[in-house]
Amino acid sequence: MQLLVFSMLPVFFLTSQLIKNIAKLFSLPACKIFTIDLCGVRILLLLILVISSCNREANKAEKKTVSDVKSEPIDSALAVIRQVQKVYTGDFDMMKKHRIIRVLVPYSRTLFFNDKGQESGITADNFRQFEQFINRKYRKQGDDVPFTVVFYPTPRDQLIEHLVQGLGDIAAGNLTATENRLLQVDFMAPKEQGSVTEIVLTRKQDKPLMTVEQLSGMTIYVRKSSSYYESLQLLNKTFRLKGKAPVVLKLVSEDLEDEDLMEMLDAGIIPAIVVDDWMAEMWVQVLPNIRLNKHAAVRTNAYIGCAYRKNSPLLTAELKDFYYNFERRMGNMPYRLKKYYSKVKHLQDPTNSGNTKRYSEIMTLFEKYGKQYEFDPLMLAAIGFQESALDQSERSPAGAVGVMQLMPATGASMKVGSIYITEHNIHAATKYMNILMTKYFKDARFDEVNRSLFAFASYNAGPYRIADLRKIAIERGLNPNVWLNNVEIIASEKIGLETTTYVRNVLKYYCSYKLMQARREEVHEQKKELVEGVK
């Protein structure tokens, strides 16, 4: 028997479907598949056991199928890797050449996430079906070389930019075909699937909004890259022309998805947001404190879909074929939504009166030990709220104690005093997280925020595990020093959603405390101005 290295292909997500497609690509009767790391790229090796008795005609046929990927030295195979990895633009003919369709997606519990290796979400489901549709179509035409859809998690504010640059072929993730976006890219957003309306969401305890005019002077939280921001900007122009107060726009992190903001609204952390009606109707079923103000719409008759580069008639035809001859006929989209309701873990409001009182009483401790161990005090407060709602009397079934939910053995090993006392509890937990950072992440170059996020992830899942995830992130071409949309992706794949949800919840509480701090500073400045005015 002869052992031949046939091909090497760089991948970001080694799914079973991807492996099957690659095996089929080479018409393999038997193969062993494993990975190696080379130059920071994960390489998938197909080691083919070729029976020496195989006839020459079979070998010729096989070479014809993969004429540019023969049994050659590794140096030659690396040239193939560089070809597939490089930035490139072009129409569907380029995708046919590479047999890879790169889909840029935001990381979202509704649209795309990876739970222990299983890619899930509405966008993931949709494009896996697109992959199957394309492969069936070309197989019928005698083309047996399969296509593979590869998802590239991408921050929302970079989706269009990366698409235009050639870092992906399609951008998907509940994108609205706005005028500004249509200047840069084309959209597959068929009107037959129905329009969406961007509506204002408030808390149920607030008065309902019956007209869009009532938004004048309101404060609304929004991502700058979103279509909602464009809509609110246009509304503010109208208000100014009418002599009315504009909507006060508070920008939030691009890492927060619509469902994250809805959770924060439901918990009372923020007062109002704008969301597509279909998304709001989906999540309101598990977020009962939200009011959908359908009469206060900032954009109507909008269409959502996927974006792709201009001058791509071949890809346009493929996407239309998929929608009109499969997706629309099968009616899949309405039935996908219920699948993802269970992904919410309810937040509490850290800024209500009782929680604020506890926060004020122990904030000096977070400031003291945050400064000593180089952690943002508000980040420490956020993890304390996530663990116990800042309640020192809290005890877990497993025996964890106090504000920071430390196990007694861990607390004792820190040698700072009894963790049954609030100050020692916070001191021990902060010291412990600092030890995790200095011992297990010596090579890391974290900024202040990421140092905290990695500490919290290690606090939740264990430092060995998180350190290993950073190594895998390097192999995948991700940034090992950034948690969100980078190491977080590997964590969701290898550990599951527990740790990623934990860290994101802490981040939301951190945002809440930052907002509360900003409001206090605003009030302080207003009082200062009043005093100076009296003088």
Residues recognised as catalytic: 387
Distances 290 to 120, 203, 261, 293, 493 between C-alpha atoms, Å: 26, 5, 11, 9, 31
DSSP string, 43-83: EEEEEEEE-TT--HHHHHHHHHHTTTS-S--HHHHHHHHHH
Backbone angles phi, psi at 20, to 5 degrees: -60, -40
Element (H, E) at 125: helix 122-140
**Number of Cβ atoms within 10 Å of the Cβ of 532:** 8
Beta bridge partners of 250: 221
SS3 332: coil
The angle subtended at Cα 105 by Cα 99 and Cα 106, nearest 5°, is 165
Order of strands across the sheet that contains 219-222: 248-251, 219-222, 273-276, 196-203, 290-302
Q: Which two tokens stand for residue 14?
A: 């080694």
Tell me the backbone φ, ψ of residue 344, rounded to 5 degrees: -85, 135
Report the distance separating Cα 243 and Cα 125, nearest Å.
Answer: 47
